[in-house]
Amino acid sequence: MCGRYAFINGKMVFELVGRNLGNRKDALDDLPRYNAAPMQRMPVIVRRDGELLLQKMQWWLIPHWSSDGKVKATTFNAKSETLDQSKLFTPYFKSSRCLVPADAFYEWKKTTVQREVKGKTVEVHEKQPMCIRMKNNKTFLFAGLFSVWKNEKGEEFPSFTIVTTTPNTLMAEIHTRMPVILQERHYDEWLDRENKNTEDLKKLLLPYPAAQMEAFPVSSYVSDSRHEGPECMEKNETK
């Protein structure tokens, strides 16, 4: 899964996808973000009305057919393996795909440690937050899907989900899932809303090469979604 991520360097997005990228509703105003969490609004790259845009959307997909702008399901992630079988996600997989810029993401690794409890040494199960990013520290793009729900007044409420896949060898030591990070050569193919060949699109949703990534422990400070700042990504040297 992917339940937290960081997006720091907004300027890098323009270098990744080209300079002809419209900025709707001041999408980069809230950057840097070191601890983005579901239900918050974050910048995503989409094609809308024939234009390539950088637009803020809520990170928790609300289907366009919702009667009240809500959804009972957990929709901040979508499994790549079932995108073409899901009643909820298939329509967006076919024609409403987006890219989600990030500089890092977090996952919680289950560990077993020895602790002194009432004078006895016991095994305690803990969750160690890990920060995962590129070794070259560059911005990357998650594969995402988006929806635009409208209220009775016709006002738009766009939202998105991040697609996940099986882990690479680095992530397998941390979690059973990881977000899909698209290769740069596949950006245009993913964003092309006329491309409805889901069989070919699924072939893009692979684990990113582990050799290009790194992971390190960080403080439990990041575990609280109310916490923000560079300390979320600082290496925890005591671990």
CATH classification of the domain holding 212: 3.90.1680.10
* Model confidence at 75: pLDDT above 60: yes
Greatest distance between any 2 Cα atoms in the chain? 67
The whole-number pLDDT of residue 24 equals 62
CA angle 68, 71, 76 (to 5 degrees): 135
* Model confidence at 97: pLDDT above 60: yes
Residue with tokens 């009667």: 67
How many independent structural domains does the chain possess?
Answer: 1
Q: Is residue 115 part of a domain?
A: no
* Model confidence at 20: pLDDT above 90: no
* Model confidence at 160: pLDDT above 90: yes
Instruction: Name the band, by pLDDT with cuts 50, 70 and 90, for residue 86.
Output: very high
Residues 42 and 162: their CA atoms lie apart, in Å, by 12
Positive or negative, the CA dihedral 156, 72, 131, 217 is positive
* Model confidence at 136: pLDDT above 70: yes
Residues 1 and 173: their CA atoms lie apart, in Å, by 14
Average pLDDT over residues 185-190: 95
Q: What does the block give as tokens for 148?
A: 């635009």
Instruction: Name the band, by pLDDT with cuts 50, 70 and 90, for residue 27.
Output: confident
What is the tens place of the pLDDT at every residue in 37-60?
999 999 999 999 888 999 999 999
Chain mean pLDDT for the chain: 92
Average pLDDT over residues 100-123: 85
237 C-beta neighbours (distance < 10 Å), count: 7
Q: Percent of the chain having pLDDT more than 90?
A: 79
DSSP secondary structure letters along 6-70 = EE--THHHHHHH-S--EEES-TTTT--EEEE-TTSEEEEEEEETTEEEEEEEEES---TT-SSS-
Q: Is residue 33 part of a domain?
A: yes
Q: Is residue 111 part of a domain?
A: no
The whole-number pLDDT of residue 239 equals 45
Q: Is residue 113 part of a domain?
A: no
What is the tens place of the pLDDT at every residue in 217-237?
999 999 999 999 999 999 987
Q: Is residue 66 part of a domain?
A: yes
Cα-based distances in Å from 55 to 19, 39, 157: 15, 15, 11
Q: Is residue 155 part of a domain?
A: yes
Residues 101-140 as b or e (16 or more Cβ within 10 Å = b): bbbbbbbbbeeeeeeeeeeeeeeeeeebbbbbbbeeeebb
Range of lowest pLDDT (51-55, 66-70, 171-175): 51-55
| Residue 190 domain boundaries | 4-105+132-233
The whole-number pLDDT of residue 159 equals 98
The whole-number pLDDT of residue 238 equals 59
Whether 160 and 98 have beta carbons less than 8 Å apart is answered as yes
